Chain A
Amino acid sequence: MRYSGFKVIKEALTGHKGWLPAWRDPEPKAHYDIVIIGGGGHGLATAHYLASVYGQHRVAVVEKGWIGGGNVGRNTTIIRSNYLLDGNEPFYEFSLKLWEGLEQDLNYNAMVSQRGIMNLIHSDAQRDAFVRRGNAMILNGADAELLSEAQIRQEYPFLNFDDARFPIKGGLAQRRGGTVRHDAVAWGYARAADRRGVDIIQNCEVTGFRVENGKCLGVETSRGFIGAGRVGCAVAGNSSRLMEKAGMRLPIESHVLQAFVTEGLKPVLPGVITFGAGHFYVSQSDKGGLVFGGDIDGYNSYAQRGNLPVVEDVCEGGMAIMPMIGRARLLRMWGGIMDMSMDGSPIIDRTHVDGLYFNGGWCYGGFKATPASGYAFAHLLARDEPHETATAYRFDRFRTGHMIDEKGMGNQPNLH
């Protein structure tokens, strides 16, 4: 069933009796050409691009809970491509371009809103760094705009410009950045993949891999063995737990990142704002809540909830740049589990097992990467070679010294 304005009107006039489930609930088959583990944004996007771009139709996505129940439903919904390094920027710009055409591609309203993102500048050194980053973005075909303090005062008059410690001196804007309705991304990809014949199998936990003579033959699951020509893992947050079943140790630690949303307010915040002197980012959802977050808690965790010191730190960041946020009441806060990699960048690569492929290490930047991650992983699974924008995301970069360390922090995951 194709969604359209005409369909909405027709259903409104006929009592909404014609809507069908957006995807099927199939029983697992004995064998698929490709099995993807993880029904989150990245796994479902991979399935969609496998079916729509790479002509693969015997594909299954297996998910231990329900689709979209992990980090794709727990993030702060920001999309952007304001990266510096060569290994990253073409990939994230490819992702932003896919976001721009996503709703037509999926025939699904994901509420992609290019309301712009602005990184605030608080010192001369930071301006130099942001000018460099903006130039790197433009060289890679993205958009970037350096704004003066006066320009920002016009757009965001309520910010704390004259703070004694961190005055706002300007900003680097990416107008094509913005926000997306995060759950709709999972649902839209699931529906689009399902319509092309992909089986989405929920409540099906992978308990192991069947490997013979160094070749992966399929996955053992709570609903029995499922054979596969190739297996792709996209379970960021739990990557280490899953890949341990294939005998791998990963360059990844799992950390908890908290996010927050206030009560619904009238429109006050037109775009996405990030604080340059601390770690704080905020946008306003279409429902009116201010959605914001900051740093990871900084210690290994699988608990999906964080602790109070980071709550305090995030709220201090918010008060420092946007004092009016102190008048809003916090409605909800939650935590998600991040694959924090050793250089802060992701991995989309083969493994030492033939036919077993890995996608993970997204740190806390996985949401914006969803389309390109799915596309690049589909390319790798279908062609057995990396997509041109993801050639740097290899396991062996730690061995060969080709790390992609945007922040220059070294192998300390809680600092990325």
Chain B
Amino acid sequence: MIINHPLLGPRDSAEFVYLGTSNLMDRPDPETATPEDWHDYAYLRDNPAGPHRELWFHEGGDRSILIVTRDTTTHEISSVELARNPGAQV
């Protein structure tokens, strides 16, 4: 797979480490979260067949974390964003 990095252009996916669903960015608020919230956050996954927003860490590159939207049934990548600023035009 080729991941089209917003800053660096097309890069081999082997340069990246896969971190899982982008839902992991929505961390529960430690002030108010219940143990059940933490359980759901840490262990449960939507695991869709189709478009999936997921985090890829560019370990072998600029060490940015990207949000990649990829179809899990075809591996086709439809969009790549910087996780620290999703949706921004670079």
Taken residue by residue from 36 to 70, chain B's Cβ proximity to chain A (1 for < 8 Å, 0 otherwise) reads as 10011011111111001010000000000000001
* Min CB gap B18→A, angstroms: 4
Indicate which residue in A252, A253, A301, A303 contacts B20 across the interface (CB closer than 8 Å): A253
Beta-carbon contact of B47 and A252 below 8 Å: yes
Q: Could you say which of B1, B39, B47 contacts A253, with CB atoms under 8 Å apart?
A: B47
* One of A249, A302, A307, A399 near B73 (C-beta < 8 A): A302
Is residue B14 within 8 Å, beta carbon to beta carbon, of the partner chain?
yes
A137 CA to B35 CA, complexed, in Å: 35
Q: Tally of A-B residue pairs with Cβ under 8 A? A: 65
Q: Which residues of the other chain, B, contact A411 by a CB distance below 8 angstroms?
A: 42-43
For B15, the closest partner residue in chain A by CB is A309
B54: A residues at CB distance < 8 A = 299-300
Q: Are A299 and B14 in contact (CB under 8 A)?
A: no
When chains A and B are docked, how far (Å) is the Cα of A121 from the Cα of B70? Answer: 39
Contacts of B13 in A (CB 8 A): 299, 307, 309
Taking the closest CB of chain B, its distance from the CB of A148, in whole angstroms, is 37
CA distance A249 to B42 in the complex (A): 12
- Whole-angstrom distance from the CB of B30 to the nearest CB of chain A? 18
Q: Which of B18, B47, B75 has the most CB of A within 10 A?
A: B47
Shortest Cβ distance from residue B16 to the other chain A in the assembled complex, whole angstroms: 9
Residues of B bordering A, CB below 8 Å:
1, 12-14, 18, 20-21, 35-36, 39-40, 42-49, 52, 54, 70, 72-75
In the complex, what distance in Å separates the CA atom of A414 from the CA atom of B55? 13
Q: In the assembly, what is the distance between CA of A132 and CA of B34, in Å? A: 38
Chain B residues with CB under 8 Å of A252's CB are 45, 47
Task: Give the nearest-CB partner of A298 in chain B.
Answer: B18
Residues of A255-301 whose CB lies within 8 A of B: 298-301
**Which B residues are CB-close (under 8 A) to A250?**
44-45, 47
- Report the separation of the CA atoms of residues A311 and B36 in the bound assembly, to the nearest whole angstrom: 40
Q: Which residues of B contact A398 (CB under 8 A)?
A: 39, 42-43
B15 to chain A, nearest CB (A): 10
In the assembled complex, the CB of B26 is this many whole angstroms from the nearest CB of chain A, namely 14
Known: A249-B46, A251-B44. A414 touches B75 (CB 8 A): no
- A114 adjacent to chain B (CB < 8 Å): no
| CB contact under 8 A between A307 and B47, given known A298-B18, A299-B18, A301-B75 | no
Residue A412 contacts which of B20, B35, B44, B73 (CB distance < 8 angstroms)?
A: B20
